[in-house]
């Protein structure tokens, strides 16, 4: 197993049963770090105390061009928190979660206090085992419909966290959403700061890097991969990528928008939790997933997406679901690189 893929091979059999709660929380956090993040930045830090774990936003890993307010960063932290919750439930613990518990520490996204022993439900087991099976799949999906009951489960999962899961089903609306994705690609790639930011997270040798995106994920041809970041910084290839992404959007069996009534950090963290729950439900049903969030990263296109999808609130995630080929997981940093030691200054 490649070093940076090793975190995906964690075994529940290694859970430390007869030890301190802090040791158990550290083990559970090994599942938290398997959550998705934009450009695979993994923008989270954790502090482990005697009976709780805290989730922090690591703003050193923000994407200031496409995510200047830290909205997508907070969504990623919410997804990591949800994995932690599922791990706690699977290993038989009750818990209490506080979101944004300290206004004086805006980087503190959540605190999970571990409680007494509790019961593990069959749903906990299914979602837990989906954590290590969920991988972002950017490849085209099969022309096969997703069962309505699965979509209903996704909608119910989101609603529990105050998030709406809206499938874009009408063909004209799907075409319009695909057009927005293409327009966003063209606009973003025409912007040199966007290309510079993307290039920073592109990895020409992904087997040797614990974060970032393989160069192929940015649409760079194999024969140019050795110069990938420089090529991305220098050339606007938005037209070609727009055409490709538009086709992917149009032919995705499911295009769905996750939205919230409010647009603030609490709503973003809850979006991340709802997103991860949906991804785990989808994975457990054999579905692949990935994101087409480009229109949400541009203010006027975000508004147009809300209109097309008939939303009363704020689009937070544009998700695609379907049946796709198996793909390798994205690399992960070791958990120890994400832990805040007790004597360390606040991030």
Q: What is d(CA 331, CA 212) in angstroms, rounded to the nearest whole number?
A: 8
Do 125 and 248 lie in one domain? The reply is no
What percentage of the chain exceeds 70 in pLDDT? Answer: 91
Q: How confident is the model at residue 204 (pLDDT cuts 50, 70, 90)?
A: confident
User: Is 17 among the domain residues?
Assistant: yes
Do 125 and 61 lie in one domain? The reply is yes
Q: Which residues contact 221 (CB under 8 A, 6 or more apart)?
A: none
This prediction has a pTM of 0.94
User: Is 226 among the domain residues?
Assistant: no
- CATH number of the domain that 260 lies in? 3.40.109.10
Beta carbons within 10 angstroms of residue 310's beta carbon:
11
Kindly tell me if the per-residue pLDDT of 132 is higher than 70. yes
Do 118 and 157 lie in one domain? The reply is no
Give backbone dihedrals phi and psi of 112, rounded to 5 degrees, phi first. Answer: -115, 115
pLDDT at 208: 76
Q: What is the pLDDT of residues 240-282, one digit of tens each?
A: 778 889 999 999 999 999 999 999 999 999 999 999 999 999 9
Q: What is d(CA 36, CA 329) in angstroms, rounded to the nearest whole number?
A: 10
Kindly tell me if the per-residue pLDDT of 19 is higher than 70. yes
pLDDT at 117: 87
User: Is 141 among the domain residues?
Assistant: no
pLDDT at 343: 39
Q: How confident is the model at residue 106 (pLDDT cuts 50, 70, 90)?
A: very high
Do 72 and 181 lie in one domain? The reply is no
Do 106 and 159 lie in one domain? The reply is no
User: Is 142 among the domain residues?
Assistant: no
Q: Average the pLDDT over 35-52 and give the result.
A: 97
User: Is 19 among the domain residues?
Assistant: yes
Kindly tell me if the per-residue pLDDT of 346 is higher than 50. no
Q: Which two tokens stand for residue 102?
A: 């300290």
Kindly tell me if the per-residue pLDDT of 21 is higher than 60. yes
Q: What is d(CA 54, CA 102) in angstroms, rounded to the nearest whole number?
A: 11
Do 318 and 333 lie in one domain? The reply is no
User: Is 62 among the domain residues?
Assistant: yes
Q: What is d(CA 226, CA 90) in angstroms, rounded to the nearest whole number?
A: 43
Q: Average the pLDDT over 151-175 and give the result.
A: 96
Q: Which residues contact 258 (CB under 8 A, 6 or more apart)?
A: 158, 163, 164, 165, 166, 271, 274, 275, 278, 315, 316, 317, 319
Domain that includes residue 87, residue range = 3-135+329-338
pLDDT at 228: 56
- Burial of residue 29 (number of CB atoms within 10 Å: 0-12, 13-18, 19+): buried
Do 163 and 290 lie in one domain? The reply is yes
Q: Which two tokens stand for residue 202?
A: 């592109």
Q: Average the pLDDT over 332-338 and give the result.
A: 96
Number of domains in the chain: 2
Do 100 and 242 lie in one domain? The reply is no
Q: What is d(CA 347, CA 108) in angstroms, rounded to the nearest whole number?
A: 9
Do 333 and 316 lie in one domain? The reply is no
User: Is 28 among the domain residues?
Assistant: yes
Do 73 and 155 lie in one domain? The reply is no
pLDDT at 222: 46
Q: What is the pLDDT of residues 111-123, one digit of tens each?
A: 999 998 888 999 9
Q: How confident is the model at residue 345 (pLDDT cuts 50, 70, 90)?
A: very low
Q: Average the pLDDT over 76-88 and give the result.
A: 98
Query: Which residue has better confidence, 222 or 164?
Result: 164
User: Is 221 among the domain residues?
Assistant: no
Q: Average the pLDDT over 9-17 and give the result.
A: 96
What is the DSSP-derived secondary structure letter of residue 263?
-
Do 39 and 163 lie in one domain? The reply is no
Do 83 and 17 lie in one domain? The reply is yes
Q: How confident is the model at residue 283 (pLDDT cuts 50, 70, 90)?
A: very high
- CATH number of the domain that 20 lies in? 3.40.109
Q: Average the pLDDT over 311-336 and give the result.
A: 95
Provide DSSP, 89-149. HHTTEEEEEEES--TT-TTEEEEEEEEEE-PPPHHHHHHHHHHTT--B--SPPPS-PPPHH
């Amino acid at each position: 197993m490649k070093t940076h893929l090793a975190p995906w091979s964690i075994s529940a059999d290694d859970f430390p049963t007869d030890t301190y709660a802090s040791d158990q929380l550290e083990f559970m956090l090994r599942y938290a770090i398997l959550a998705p993040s934009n450009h695979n930045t993994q923008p989270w830090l954790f502090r482990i105390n005697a009976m709780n774990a805290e989730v922090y936003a690591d703003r050193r890993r923000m994407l200031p061009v496409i995510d200047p307010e830290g909205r997508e960063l907070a969504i990623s932290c919410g997804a990591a928190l949800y994995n932690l919750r599922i791990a706690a439930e699977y290993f038989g613990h009750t818990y209490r979660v506080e979101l944004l518990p300290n206004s004086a520490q805006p980087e503190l996204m959540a605190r999970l206090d571990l409680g007494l022993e509790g019961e593990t439900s069959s749903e906990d087991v299914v979602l837990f085992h989906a954590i290590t099976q969920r991988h972002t799949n950017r490849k085209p999906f099969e022309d096969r419909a997703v069962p309505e009951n699965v979509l209903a489960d996704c909608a119910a999962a989101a609603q529990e966290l105050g998030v709406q899961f809206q499938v874009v089903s009408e063909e004209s609306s799907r075409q319009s959403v695909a057009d927005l994705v293409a327009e966003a690609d063209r606009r973003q790639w025409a912007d040199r700061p966007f290309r510079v930011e993307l290039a920073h997270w592109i990895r020409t040798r992904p087997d040797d890097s614990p974060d970032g995106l393989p160069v192929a994920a940015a649409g760079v041809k194999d024969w140019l991969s050795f110069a990938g970041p420089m090529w991305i910084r220098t050339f606007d290839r938005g037209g070609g990528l727009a055409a490709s992404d538009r086709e992917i959007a149009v032919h995705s069996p499911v295009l769905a928008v996750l939205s919230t009534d409010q647009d603030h950090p609490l709503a973003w963290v809850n979006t991340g939790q709802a997103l991860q729950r949906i991804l785990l439900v989808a994975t457990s049903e054999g579905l692949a997933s990935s994101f087409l969030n480009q229109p949400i990263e541009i203010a006027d296109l975000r508004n147009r997406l809300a209109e097309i999808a008939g939303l009363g609130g704020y689009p937070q995630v544009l998700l695609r679901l379907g049946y796709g080929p198996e793909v390798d997981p994205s690399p992960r940093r070791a958990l120890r690189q994400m832990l805040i030691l007790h004597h360390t200054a606040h991030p």
